[in-house]
Chains A and B, each alone.
Chain A
Amino acid sequence: MHELFLEIQQVASGNSPMHRLDAGTKLLSILILILFAVFTKDLFSLVLLEIFLLMLMAASHLPPRYVGKRLLFVLPFGGFLALFQPFIREGSIIWSFYGLSATYEGTFFGALLLLRMLVCISAVLFLSSTTRQEDLYHALERFKVPPIFISLLDMMLRHIGLCFESLHRALTAQKARGFRWRKNRAGYRFVLKSAGNTLGTLFVRSMERGERIYESMLARGYKLGTSYSFEPRRRANAGDACLLLSSVFIVVFLAFQDRLWYGIGLV
């Protein structure tokens, strides 16, 4: 897990045309795409949107393995939810098996759910893999997001890294004293107990560490709302406009391509 987290930061500091775009523009663009994905009921639109996002990621030179690994994360969570839908939604039955019946409406809804999640995660992945954290905070600042939210986001991301690091060190120390997850010689209950205690200790330590870090920030004059950017603001350029306009265009096109406004439910 720790490696996955570090990898995002490494990839995000890359240098492609997409990386160089303004963080605010990227944020706005993916917000538009996500909003559309959440409201549309058209599977075809979602597929097209996903293709558009994959094209953006290709333009960002993101390694295919890196993207694939993260998109697969949709499956254990979203896939599980989607899998149930055909059996719990009412509608016209398409097949039944020992009293368990799948409906057309349920299958459609399951597919819609899965595609929506895929598009949303792709959008967020594109943003987080092409934008450095501090640029994103700066963009949020410009969008007048309250400083407390930005601070929370920043602290959370920093502490995830620290948390994984201390978990990793604790597990190493346990391994050195002969701890094994599988075939532990002290039995399965002992493994569960150790895992529980490790997690508990991790929580307490993280809290204490969080306090220490906060105190050291205060000692260095930190105040809520301290600006995150020390680089001069760059004016939006043609590239930024291009991304924003193409996102707006694709959303409008998808919304119109079926019946007028059907997708976002304004009819």
Chain B
Amino acid sequence: MAAPNIIEFQGAGFTYPSGREAFSGIDLAIEKGGAFALIGSNGAGKTTLLKHINGLLYPSHGRVLFDGKEVNKKTAPGVRDRVGFVFQNPDDQLFLPTVAQDVAFGPMNHGLDRAEVEKRVKRALEVVDMEGYEGVHPGKLSGGEKKRVCIAGVLALEPEVLVFDEPTGGLDPRGTRDTIRFINKLREERGITVVIASHDVNVIPLLVERVAVLHKGRLLFDGSVRDAFGDRGLLSKASMVPPDVTRLALEMGCCPGKGLPLTMNEALRYFQKGG
């Protein structure tokens, strides 16, 4: 039996106060415990769409449901308690004088007592390998470290759903690898539902099984990551390219359909078998 849907978009659309349309007619369902990525070029409407999940924005038409209930002004605070949102730019999130205080910000807002907050801060920093940085000023951290503190700050809320806006944007290869590892670990160990918006096509197959392709506010595709990246017509329509290894395989005219490699490991296995 399929897991129940935790997030549902029903004919949702959003128009900015200026009259510019961000997206419209979006129908999407994300199941509990799943990993889902929204991909598309810059300005496709990914971030705006993500912000509807926890009621940072409300749809101009249609509905957004969280756990079966409509997200609106009344329900949004409750939804925000259950959905963690990691923003693209860590500097938007970090604003307190020490790492520990910043990670504690969310739990404090939940009105938890001091002992519980401290426990959660410790645990969250452990998950992202940032123990020992409690008293450091976030301004003194590197980009990758800031990102990890941001993830910890959201993990401390013990959310059921984690939303990442460009999780690997601006990170070096090591930071990218670490972030992928944390996200996958959280899914496996805690069964957290993961929703990602990204245009980093090389990273997406390492994180999710299902993608939706957004282009100029319209949903072009919703299905498996392999089907999306194997379809060059779809990708060029969305101004995107397949992952590097997939592109290489496609250019060489081999491994059509199910065998198409999406990650470096898949490609290695494929070529070691002798193509």
The chain A residues found within 8 Å of chain B, CB to CB, are 3, 166, 169-170, 172-180, 184-186, 190, 194, 197-198, 201, 204-205
Contacts and interface: CB of A to CB of B under 8 A. Distances in A.
B89 A190 contact: no
B141 to A, nearest CB: 14
Given A3-B17, A201-B95, A172 B109 contact: no
A173 B109 contact: no
Tell me the dominant secondary structure on chain B's binding face: mixed
Q: Kindly state the interface size class of chain B when it binds its partner.
A: 20 to 34
Contacts of B96: 194, 197
B54 A186 contact: no
Contacts of A175: 56, 80
B95 A170 contact: yes
17 contacts: A3-B17, A169-B89, A169-B92, A170-B93, A172-B51, A172-B87, A174-B105, A176-B84, A176-B87, A177-B84, A178-B106, A186-B110, A186-B111, A190-B108, A194-B105, A197-B95, A205-B91
A177 B54 CA distance: 10
Given A170-B95, A177-B109, 16 more contacts: A169-B87, A169-B89, A169-B92, A172-B51, A175-B80, A176-B80, A176-B84, A176-B85, A177-B154, A177-B157, A178-B81, A178-B109, A178-B157, A185-B110, A201-B95, A204-B139
A255 B101 CA distance: 63
A231 B83 CA distance: 51
Interface string B145-158: 00000000110010
Nearest to A166: B92
Interface in B74-108: 77, 80-81, 83-85, 87, 89, 91-97, 105-106, 108
Contact of A178 (B80, B87, B91, B92): B80
A177 B153 contact: yes
A119 B235 CA distance: 59
7 nearest interchain CB pairs? Answer: A185-B111, A177-B106, A178-B109, A176-B85, A186-B108, A201-B95, A173-B93
A176 B87 CA distance: 9
Nearest to A6: B18
Contact of A179 (B83, B84, B87, B109): B109
A5 B154 CA distance: 32
A180 B89 contact: no
Nearest to A179: B109
Contacts of B83: 176
Contacts of A186: 108-111
A179 B93 CA distance: 12
A164 to B, nearest CB: 14
B43 to A, nearest CB: 17
A180 B97 contact: no
B93 to A, nearest CB: 4
Contacts of A172: 51, 56, 87, 92
B135 to A, nearest CB: 16
Nearest to A199: B95
A201 B91 CA distance: 10
A179 B81 CA distance: 10
A254 B108 CA distance: 62
A91 to B, nearest CB: 50
Given A3-B17, A176-B80, A178-B80, A184 B109 contact: yes
B94 to A, nearest CB: 8
Contacts of A180: 77, 109
A98 to B, nearest CB: 46
A63 B93 CA distance: 37
B91 to A, nearest CB: 7
B87 to A, nearest CB: 5
A172 B163 CA distance: 14
B148 to A, nearest CB: 16
A201 B97 CA distance: 9
A173 B86 CA distance: 8
Given A169-B92, A186-B111, A179 B105 contact: yes
A229 to B, nearest CB: 27
A51 B139 CA distance: 53
Nearest to A204: B139
Nearest to B91: A205
Task: Determine which residue in A186, A194, A198 has the highest number of CB atoms from chain B within 10 A of its CB, and name it.
Answer: A186
Contact of B110 (A169, A178, A205): A178
Contacts of B84: 176-177
A197 B153 CA distance: 16
Nearest to B111: A185
A179 to B, nearest CB: 5
A173 B149 CA distance: 14
A178 B85 CA distance: 11
